[in-house]
């Protein structure tokens, strides 16, 4: 019995040492991966993430819920998540959840592009916004982003200063480029002072026009200096919105009238993809006109699956699960081929975004809905058993429409005639 006890004790010790060694190796390997390895590398598939389930962000997802989401995304081969602010516990809890999963499974791998929210003075108040003066909250956001980045260097690889914080249609909160430039320079200086990892990349994530790819009103010296200051450009493109606001690509050509309804839609979706590519190229051209050559990622693009507003069946007829799936596949294939990082918007539906309108398009950009059902874009992954034994809020991962493609097509409408002058 004495010998047996010693053998059991030895086996337990070896197991513990192996476990600790695996965790140590996992941490070292994660630390060795930097933004330079991630951006432009198709191995590191990226997605925009919010884990809120309810109609208000006052009810935050638990760590257990976040871990469920992380397991689902990892099964989809997602390795990089983009977040948006640090004023909710969701993000700090997400980092805790990632670290716990890494301890539980030495093969688990997930990194974060950490967003710090930036506002102008009087944003979201009854007072007129002052766009060339910033909110006092900005300094708190940046300080917390730095603290988290230093606490989780194996997870946080990028800091994004603001989200669509310069585009002028964000009238309630946008800031002038000088304010973004100030904070980007601040973070770059912290890197030089060894107060922030030199390997963290710093950017801001904004509409293509804000990066110089659109109207000349954005072509100001502070933007030019910002382009030179960031480690890479993170731009947004949303053809779905422009099926209403600028539908130069959207609809059925006269030469396509002989096609089937599916073929007409597929042709329109190819034009939507090309529209997004052209916006990407417009940013690239502006950057190069300044003598700058650095990576450009797509920080956001997506296609809602439902809309009661301008993009729905009474509007541009753009939103349904088929078109959403086609856009997802087209953009992933193109960006992977060109080695362009694509942070697809978004992983899960979130109903707080338009809480007063359940059918509002902002609530339905997710690839997975609030019932734990994957939309058409991911049906094939269910067939492959990718989500076997995984749940969201205790529900198994299943297909929308109960997997009935004919039922799905009942909700798919062909766009109207496209007039090209």
For the chain, give the percent of residues with pLDDT over 90: 92
pLDDT number for residue 21: 53
CATH (residue range 34-409): 3.20.20.80
Q: Mean pLDDT across the chain, nearest whole number?
A: 95
**For the chain, domain boundaries:** 34-409
Distances (CA, A) of 347 to 70, 72, 75, 352: 10, 10, 13, 15
Is residue 257 predicted with pLDDT exceeding 90? yes
Q: What is the pTM of this model?
A: 0.93
Is residue 12 predicted with pLDDT exceeding 60? no
pLDDT number for residue 421: 64
pLDDT number for residue 5: 61
């Amino acid at each position: 019995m004495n010998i047996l006890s010693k053998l059991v004790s030895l086996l337990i010790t070896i197991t513990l040492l192996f476990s600790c060694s695996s965790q140590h190796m996992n941490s070292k390997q994660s630390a060795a991966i930097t933004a330079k390895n991630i951006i432009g590398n198709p191995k590191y598939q990226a997605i925009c993430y919010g884990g809120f389930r309810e109609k208000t962000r006052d009810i935050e997802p638990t760590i257990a819920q976040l871990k469920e989401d992380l397991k689902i995304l990892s099964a989809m081969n997602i390795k990089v998540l983009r977040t948006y602010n640090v004023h909710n516990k969701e993000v700090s809890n997400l980092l805790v959840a990632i670290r716990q999963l890494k301890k539980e499974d030495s093969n688990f791998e997930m990194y974060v592009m950490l967003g710090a929210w930036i506002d102008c003075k009087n944003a979201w108040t009854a007072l007129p916004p002052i766009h060339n003066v910033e909110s006092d909250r900005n300094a708190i956001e940046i300080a917390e982003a730095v603290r988290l980045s230093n606490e989780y260097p194996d997870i946080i690889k990028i800091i994004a200063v603001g989200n669509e914080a310069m585009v002028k249609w964000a009238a309630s909160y946008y800031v002038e480029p000088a304010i973004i430039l100030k904070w980007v320079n601040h973070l770059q200086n912290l890197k030089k002072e060894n107060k922030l990892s030199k390997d963290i990349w710093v950017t801001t994530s904004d509409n293509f026009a804000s990066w110089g790819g659109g109207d000349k009103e954005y072509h100001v010296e502070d933007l030019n200096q910002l382009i030179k200051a960031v480690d890479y450009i993170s731009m947004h493109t949303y053809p779905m919105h422009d099926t209403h606001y600028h539908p130069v690509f959207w609809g059925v050509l006269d030469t396509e009238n002989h096609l089937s309804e599916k073929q007409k839609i597929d042709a329109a979706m190819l034009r939507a993809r090309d529209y997004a590519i052209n916006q990407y190229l417009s940013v690239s051209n502006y950057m190069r006109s300044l003598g700058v050559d650095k990576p450009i990622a797509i920080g956001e693009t997506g296609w809602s699956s439902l809309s009661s507003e301008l993009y729905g069946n009474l509007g541009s007829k753009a939103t349904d699960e088929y078109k959403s799936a086609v856009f997802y596949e087209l953009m992933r294939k193109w960006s992977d081929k060109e080695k362009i990082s694509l942070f697809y918007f978004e992983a899960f539906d979130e109903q707080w975004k338009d809480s007063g309108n359940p059918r509002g398009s902002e609530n339905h950009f997710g690839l997975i809905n609030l019932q734990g059902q994957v939309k058409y874009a991911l049906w094939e992954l269910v067939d492959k058993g990718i989500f076997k034994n995984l749940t969201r809020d205790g529900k198994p991962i299943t297909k929308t429409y109960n997997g009935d493609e004919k039922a799905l097509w009942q909700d798919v409408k062909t766009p109207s005639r496209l007039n090209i002058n």
